[in-house]
């Protein structure tokens, strides 16, 4: 049974710690938080470990998870490296979706193998997260010597690990941001335009929700190109022109950029003459 330390025992750290302890393959040794009370609360939730409020209290472990905020990872890694609490050959990893393992370079300098494991999951409620985490996809990247151990760790907590391409973390995180954050932004744009068209506020979700859900389901099951419908893939430049006339000035850039991407996505379904007409209209 391998020892696991958790530094930064917030929602993610508590969830992964409890799942690791429940797996029977890891023993949570130390949980470090900013205060003794927070560390103890993490230990109580996990059901194992020792509460620590100072780095000097942490004992060496085979695996150490840094579940601190992104802007604290580099400083925490440096402090841990300087503490002498990491033995050569140990694996230290963080769970940031945006940062690469390279941010842990000071720990590599003292002999540790560094990596990152990012679960595509929301940890808003740790108790609920523990029950819903099974089969969550986890993106791995980092030192070759660390990845097999993280694959084992991910499998033990019920996740589905997969490896990112070297240097691929930023593109991976951008994909998640587009798929989640920008979908919300597009919803807001659609609601604004519907209001402009006279749709009552109470009808907005009922009007747009089924259309958005159906489009997303089709794109995921059929692929984006085959799922594409609407005026652009039909080559209906007149409708696109009417859209541009009524669009508020602040929404014009987004509509035009997305329109050009839609022309590209339509591919061979769009005759060349229609393609050129639409592009000229969108770029005007």
Q: Which of 135, 91, 138 is nearest to 112 (CA)?
A: 91
Give the DSSP letter of residue 34: S
157-160, Cβ contacts within 8 angstroms, sequence gap of 24 or more: 157/16, 157/19, 157/20, 157/23, 157/133, 158/19, 158/23, 158/133, 158/134, 159/119, 159/133, 159/135, 160/135, 160/136
Q: What is the pLDDT of residue 210?
A: 97
Q: Which of 227, 210, 211 is nearest to 219 (CA)?
A: 227
Q: What is the pLDDT of residue 122?
A: 85
Q: What is the mean pLDDT of each run of 10 residues along the chain (284 residues)?
A: 94 96 97 94 96 94 97 97 95 96 97 97 91 96 97 97 95 94 96 97 97 97 97 97 97 98 96 96 94
CA dihedral 56, 57, 59, 61 (to 10 degrees): -90
Q: Is 229 helix (H, G, I), strand (E, B) or coil?
A: coil
Q: 165: how many CB neighbours lie within 10 A of its CB? A: 9
pLDDT digits (tens, 9 = 90+) for 183-210: 999 999 999 999 999 999 999 999 999 9
For 178, the token pair is: 């587009």
Q: What is the largest CA-CA distance in the chain?
A: 71
pTM equals 0.87
pLDDT digits (tens, 9 = 90+) for 18-61: 999 999 999 999 999 999 999 999 999 999 999 999 999 999 99
For 153, the token pair is: 């760790």
Buried-state track 215-247, b at ≥16 Cβ within 10 A, e below 16: eeeeeeeeeeeebbeebbbebebeebeebeeeb
| Under 8 Å between Cβ of 116 and 169 | yes
Q: What is the pLDDT of residue 152?
A: 97
Domains and CATH numbers, the chain: 2-167 (3.40.50.720), 202-283 (no CATH)
Span between the terminal Cα atoms of the chain, in Å: 65
Q: Which of 256, 258, 264 is nearest to 284 (CA)?
A: 256
């Amino acid at each position: 049974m391998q020892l696991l330390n958790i530094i930064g025992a917030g929602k993610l750290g508590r969830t992964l710690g409890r799942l690791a302890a429940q797996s029977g393959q890891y023993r949570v040794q130390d949980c470090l938080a900013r205060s003794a009370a927070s560390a103890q609360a993490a230990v109580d939730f996990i059901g194992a470990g020792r509460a620590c409020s100072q780095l000097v209290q942490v004992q060496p472990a085979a695996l150490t998870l840094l579940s601190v905020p992104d802007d604290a990872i580099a400083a925490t890694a440096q402090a841990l490296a300087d503490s002498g609490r990491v033995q050569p050959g140990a694996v230290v990893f963080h769970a940031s979706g945006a940062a690469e393992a390279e941010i842990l370079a000071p720990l590599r300098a003292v002999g540790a193998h560094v990596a990152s494991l990012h679960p595509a999951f929301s940890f808003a409620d740790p108790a609920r997260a523990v029950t819903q985490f099974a089969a969550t996809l986890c993106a791995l990247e980092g030192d070759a010597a660390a990845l097999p151990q993280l694959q084992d760790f991910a499998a033990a907590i019920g996740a589905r690990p997969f490896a990112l391409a070297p240097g691929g973390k930023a593109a991976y995180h951008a994909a998640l941001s587009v798929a989640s954050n920008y979908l919300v932004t597009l919803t807001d744009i659609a609601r604004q335009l519907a209001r402009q068209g006279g749709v009552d506020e109470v009808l907005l979700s009922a009007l747009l929700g089924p259309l958005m859900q159906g489009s997303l389901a089709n794109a995921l099951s059929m692929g984006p190109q085959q799922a594409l419908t609407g005026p652009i893939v039909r080559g209906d430049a007149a409708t696109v022109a009417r859209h541009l006339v009524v669009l508020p000035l602040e929404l014009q850039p987004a509509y035009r950029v997305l329109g050009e991407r839609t022309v590209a996505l339509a591919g061979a379904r769009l005759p060349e003459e229609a393609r050129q007409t639409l592009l000229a209209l969108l770029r005007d």
